[in-house]
Structure 1
């Protein structure tokens, strides 16, 4: 399994500084819903401290956690791809402090600085690939355990 990519530390310093000029510090109390699947994806966050769970609604009353994110992790990538709707929901598992970025401002920055845009997209793609690998492993583990009759 590959190592998790931390977006801000993966960017070269000049590109990180340009991106951070657009950051706004925010916080979410524990148990706060940050976004819901299907909602408009018009921003993203880099978690500074705390924990966030990504979840998928299975029934009207049940959600399944698909990933846990912590310090340095990117929260939200749907802002980068049409139709710009969240694929998952997110909830603060503990008090969370984060840098928030407005997607439109970041996309304008990427148009002005194509090298930063390419680097950002490449790192987001690496993060998505890593999360897909982790999710696949969890599903294989869960499916294999259930298949053997352990659960």
Structure 2
């Protein structure tokens, strides 16, 4: 009986301490997002030109990968080899810009279509917190949100 009580107290103690130890490490942080695309060059050009993402050196050097910077310590890895498929707007990558109107003018100059959540061309969608959003699709149909969140 004493052994059972001892092991029960020990197990309970570990259960209480484990979450604290995990929190001490800090949360996980985004390293990269990988998109599997049909046409590598077309997708890379879109992300570099429309979203203005800088290209990074990539280690594979096999012509099937392009790496782009999406944050101070985060990357977008574009990988050649996918087959065409449809994507739902609910699954999207979201980016922020300082001036959404200026970014929309940039997209207009490039002829990139965008619109509100309800697909109203050239319109924004306001979030309840006042942030404005637009939605567009990359060459493979992956949905992207661009907003003016100042976080």
TM-score (norm 2): 0.25
RCO comparison, higher one (Cα < 8 Å, 6+): 1
> Rg bigger for which structure?
2
Pick the structure with more helix per residue.
1
